[in-house]
Structure 1
């Protein structure tokens, strides 16, 4: 169910943001690539600096989607920052693990 306040909050986030990253699943489907590209172009048209990436290569079946060439397999050396509203003493601890193969960072 869509909560109207959530829509307003999301709209405010998009209005304030200057840069956006659209990330596609490691196992992309036609629908996921098409919707990611639609979001990419909507944000670009809104004047945002937008990057779109998918860790898997784009398959031939996606080749007729407009803008599929905009997707890259790497995001480059960038910092990832995730922000949440915070109330004092609401977070007990934050930690992380690295996967056994050394390829995944897990924030806990």
Structure 2
């Protein structure tokens, strides 16, 4: 994809995203994490609900750029929730059984004409509509997040940003620019083209990554 078209596509992804999970490499260390913080700051300033997903401690020396940053050590788990509105009934007991990998719930007692529309199901848990990996050559570089990320790659929008030619080009869209000496420099260079504003806090994070 030509560079102009790629930048336009990435800008569109960032603009339309509501909740963004940013995943820096646990292997790359300081530069990857600093670039992720810079991106987090810029997305947050646009009103995006952003989180950094990082299964480890913040790399040494970066404590000064992470104040107020939402860092989570996991991507979270999704759950299937079954709710039953039993108001107006005499139901008082709930039991369940399993058979042939099927779960059965029993709410008793209920009338024959119980309104089945009162039984609801929903999926709860992480609802990121965009994941952005930073400096992640492959899911192996995400440590404890590897298994979950491998699943999300096939089901969710994933923007893969890296400056290493060994990147495996996973994700919905990937930008791999090996000409950039650091990920933070790559982020600094591309941010304006993606409709992002580099403010004082994001600049501090990115320059910290560049200088390491």
| TM-score normalised by L of structure 1 | 0.64
Alpha-carbon spacing, 1:57–1:16, altered in 2? closer, same or farther (3 Å): same
Gapped runs of 5+ residues in structure 1?
A: 83-102
Match of 1:104 among 101, 126, 147: 147
Moved more, 33-42 or 23-32: 23-32
Partner of 1:63: 63
Cα contact 1:25–1:55 (8 A) shared by 2: no
| TM-score normalised by L of structure 2 | 0.35
Partner of 1:53: 53
Query: More relative contact order in 1 or in 2 (CA 8 Å, sep 6+)?
Result: 2
Cα contact 1:53–1:71 (8 A) shared by 2: yes
Deviation at 1:68, TM superposition (A): 7.3
Moved more, 4-13 or 64-73: 64-73
Alpha-carbon spacing, 1:69–1:20, altered in 2? closer, same or farther (3 Å): closer
Moved more, 39-48 or 52-61: 52-61
Alpha-carbon spacing, 1:72–1:43, altered in 2? closer, same or farther (3 Å): same
Alpha-carbon spacing, 1:28–1:68, altered in 2? closer, same or farther (3 Å): farther
Q: How many residues align?
A: 88
Q: Secondary structure at the match of 2:65?
A: coil
Cα contact 1:52–1:71 (8 A) shared by 2: yes
Deviations 1:51-105 (A, max 9, x none): 11111211332222243753221222226778xxxxxxxxxxxxxxxxxxxx736
1:8 aligns with 2:8: yes
1:35 aligns with 2:35: yes
Q: Distance in 2 between matches of 1:42 and 1:25?
A: 19
C-alpha RMSD of the superposition: 2.9
Partner of 1:76: 76
Alpha-carbon spacing, 1:73–1:104, altered in 2? closer, same or farther (3 Å): same
Highest Rg: 1 or 2? 2
Instruction: Compare the two structures and name the one with the higher strand fraction.
Output: 2
